[in-house]
Structure 1
Amino acid sequence: MPALGASLATPGAMGVASDLAAVPSGRVRMLPVHTDLSGLFPWGGLRRGSTVSVHGSTSLLLALLAEPTTGGSWAAAVGMPDLGVLAAAELGVAVDRLALVRHPGADLPAVVAALLDGMDLVVTPRARLTDAQARRLSARARHRGAVLLTVGAWPGVDLELSCVRSDWGGIGAGHGHLACREVTVQARGRGVASRPTRTTLSLPAPGGGIAPVLPACGPDRRPIRWVSRERVELSGAAANLLGAKDFGHLRIG
Structure 2
Amino acid sequence: MSVAPTPATAAADAVTDARALTQKLSRSLGIPTATALIDQARPRPVGSALAGLFARGGLPQGEVVSLSGRAVLSLALACCAETTRDGGWCAGIGLGAPAASAMRDLGIDLSRFVCLDTPAQDWMRVTSILLESFDVLVVDPGFSASAGDRARIAAKLRDSRATLILLNGPGAAKGGVKERGSSFPGSSERLTVLEESWEGTDRGTGRLRSRTLRLRSAHTGEHTLVLPDSHGATTAPRSRPSSSSAAPVASAAVSHSVPAGTLRLVSDSSTRSDGAP
- TM-score, normalised relative to structure 2: 0.64
Which aligned runs of 4 or more in structure 1 are off by greater than 6 angstroms?
Answer: none
How many pairs does the alignment contain?
Answer: 197
| Aligned match for 1:197, one of 221, 243, 264 | 221
Measure how far apart 1:219 and its partner are. Answer: 4.8
One-letter amino acid matched to 2:200? G
Query: C-alpha distance in 1, partners of 2:112/2:41?
Result: 18
How does 1:56-205 map onto structure 2 within 5 Å? Answer: 56-57=70-71, 58-104=73-119, 106-132=121-147, 133-152=149-168, 153=179, 154=181, 155=183, 156=185, 157-188=187-218, 193=219, 196-205=220-229
1:42 corresponds in structure 2 to 55
Is the partner of 2:197 in helix, strand or coil?
A: strand
TM-superposition CA deviations, 1:22-48 (whole Å, max 9, x none): xxx9x9632101111111111111111
Measure how far apart 1:74 and its partner are. Answer: 0.5
| Aligned match for 2:64, one of 34, 48, 51 | 51
The structure whose residues are more often strand, as a share, is 1
- Indicate the percent of aligned positions where both proteins have the same amino acid: 28
2:237 corresponds in structure 1 to 213
2:8 corresponds in structure 1 to none
Measure how far apart 1:131 and its partner are. Answer: 3.0
Query: C-alpha distance in 1, partners of 2:85/2:264?
Result: 43
- Structure 1: which 5+ runs fail to align? 1-24, 221-238, 245-253
Query: C-alpha distance in 1, partners of 2:151/2:123?
Result: 14
Measure how far apart 1:105 and its partner are. Answer: 6.0
Tell me if the contact between 1:138 and 1:148 (Cα under 8 Å) persists in the aligned partners. Answer: no
Tell me if the contact between 2:94 and 2:141 (Cα under 8 Å) persists in the aligned partners. Answer: no
Is the partner of 2:78 in helix, strand or coil?
A: helix
Structure 1 residues 120 and 172 mapped into 2: Cα distance closer, same or farther (>3 Å)? same
Tell me if the contact between 1:173 and 1:219 (Cα under 8 Å) persists in the aligned partners. Answer: no
Query: C-alpha distance in 2, partners of 1:181/1:37?
Result: 15
The structure whose residues are more often helix, as a share, is 2
Query: C-alpha distance in 1, partners of 2:266/2:143?
Result: 39
Structure 1 residues 44 and 114 mapped into 2: Cα distance closer, same or farther (>3 Å)? same
1:223 corresponds in structure 2 to none
Tell me if the contact between 2:120 and 2:142 (Cα under 8 Å) persists in the aligned partners. Answer: no
One-letter amino acid matched to 1:200? T
Is the partner of 2:52 in helix, strand or coil?
A: helix
Query: C-alpha distance in 2, partners of 1:86/1:98?
Result: 13
Structure 1 residues 81 and 174 mapped into 2: Cα distance closer, same or farther (>3 Å)? closer
Give 1 or 2 for the bigger CA radius of gyration: 2
One-letter amino acid matched to 2:193? C
Query: C-alpha distance in 2, partners of 1:105/1:67?
Result: 28
Tell me if the contact between 1:171 and 1:219 (Cα under 8 Å) persists in the aligned partners. Answer: no
- Structure 2: which 5+ runs fail to align? 1-37, 169-178, 248-262, 269-277
